[in-house]
Structure 1
Amino acid sequence: MDDATRPRAHQLIIRKPCFDLIVSGTKTVEIRVGYPKIRRMRVGDTLRMVSGDDSLTTRVARIHVHDSISALLDAESPTAIGGGTMSPEELGDVIRAVYPPDKEALGVFALHLTTGATRCQLIPAKADPAPPPHPARRTEVIAYGILPGARGGTARKYSMCALAVRL
């Protein structure tokens, strides 16, 4: 694989409510506008989402480019974008508050994400990562994040999720 086709690693800062929805698997599409950094992303690249001290490494599964926020909302699932907590109109208003018309004119990118998680378990926040689920498989712990719904239906800072993926 040459450098032009090798997956690259990127990092984005994301707001905590959106981060939590991605960790839970509810939000699978991240919306950005066509800044040069976003335009360089390709399917298969890794994308590290960072919110404060928390981070999650995802993979870009698909990229859809839209001419406008309205076109985005016509083509993409509002639940995948906003976690199902807002109507499409409310979601459009929120996106437009972040990206005014001059930014929207750069193109609206829908980054479809996947974590590739095959196993998730609770571990203490300061503990070392759990051993691989099966010694015959090479795995890497790629992310730690709060596991929503842990401990009686509420997320606690000391309940962390280790996402292990097969390499």
Structure 2
Amino acid sequence: MSDATTRVHELNLYRQYFDLVAAGTKTIEVRVKYPHLADLDAGDTICFRIKGTDETCEVKVVRVTEYADFEALLDGEGPSHVNPTATRDEQLTNIRAIYPPEKEALGALAIQIRPLG
């Protein structure tokens, strides 16, 4: 895929996760399987932004894997790839604080990313 046809997706991130992505230590981004992410695929670019700021960080999508729920995702991907600063149980609590049960029921996406540049 040439750069001219690369799709760019803009997504918001909380500061704590943005900093991990920018540092290259967070290699798996967790999202609910929303319809607007259905076409997300390897080779795409994600421009993460801290909501309400001009701070951005661009990453390349390496792989997108679907899971039934957040527990299966953390077990399948390894919690250290999602957030190297928190335990599996802390991460599960944090993710579920962002996404309530009705959102988790849509399915979970593990988006493997790598920094651009």
TM-score (norm 1): 0.64
Query: Given that residues 29 and 112 in structure 1 are in contact (C-alpha distance below 8 angstroms), is that contact kept between their aligned partners in structure 2?
Result: yes
Alpha-carbon distance in structure 2 between the residues aligned to 1:74 and 1:20: 23
Unaligned runs of 5+ in 1: 118-167
Q: CA shift at 1:116, angstroms? A: 3.7
Q: CA shift at 1:7, angstroms? A: 2.8
Partner of 2:13: 14
Output one character per residue of 1:104-158: Cα deviation in whole Å (capped at 9) or x when no partner: 01110011111243xxxxxxxxxxxxxxxxxxxxxxxxxxxxxxxxxxxxxxxxx
Query: Given that residues 68 and 108 in structure 1 are in contact (C-alpha distance below 8 angstroms), is that contact kept between their aligned partners in structure 2?
Result: yes
Query: Given that residues 58 and 116 in structure 2 are in contact (C-alpha distance below 8 angstroms), is that contact kept between their aligned partners in structure 1?
Result: no
Q: CA shift at 1:80, angstroms? A: 1.3
Alpha-carbon distance in structure 1 between the residues aligned to 2:96 and 2:32: 11
Partner of 2:103: 103
Partner of 1:34: 33
Alpha-carbon distance in structure 1 between the residues aligned to 2:41 and 2:75: 23
Query: Given that residues 7 and 42 in structure 1 are in contact (C-alpha distance below 8 angstroms), is that contact kept between their aligned partners in structure 2?
Result: no
- Residues 1-167 of structure 1 aligned to structure 2 (within 5 Å): 6-51=5-50, 52-82=53-83, 84-117=84-117
Alpha-carbon distance in structure 1 between the residues aligned to 2:61 and 2:6: 10
Identity of aligned residues (%): 38
- The structure number with the bigger radius of gyration is 1
Q: CA shift at 1:46, angstroms? A: 0.7
Alpha-carbon distance in structure 1 between the residues aligned to 2:116 and 2:58: 10
* Aligned partner of residue 62 in structure 1, secondary structure: strand
C-alpha RMSD of the superposition: 1.2
The count of residues paired between Structure 1 and Structure 2 equals 112
Alpha-carbon distance in structure 2 between the residues aligned to 1:24 and 1:96: 24
**One-letter amino acid of the counterpart of residue 106, structure 2:** L
Query: Given that residues 62 and 112 in structure 1 are in contact (C-alpha distance below 8 angstroms), is that contact kept between their aligned partners in structure 2?
Result: yes
Q: Which structure carries more relative contact order (alpha carbon 8 Å, separation 6+)?
A: 2
Alpha-carbon distance in structure 1 between the residues aligned to 2:86 and 2:42: 28
Alpha-carbon distance in structure 1 between the residues aligned to 2:116 and 2:59: 8
* Aligned partner of residue 32 in structure 1, secondary structure: strand
Partner of 1:157: none
Q: CA shift at 1:36, angstroms? A: 1.1
Unaligned runs of 5+ in 2: none
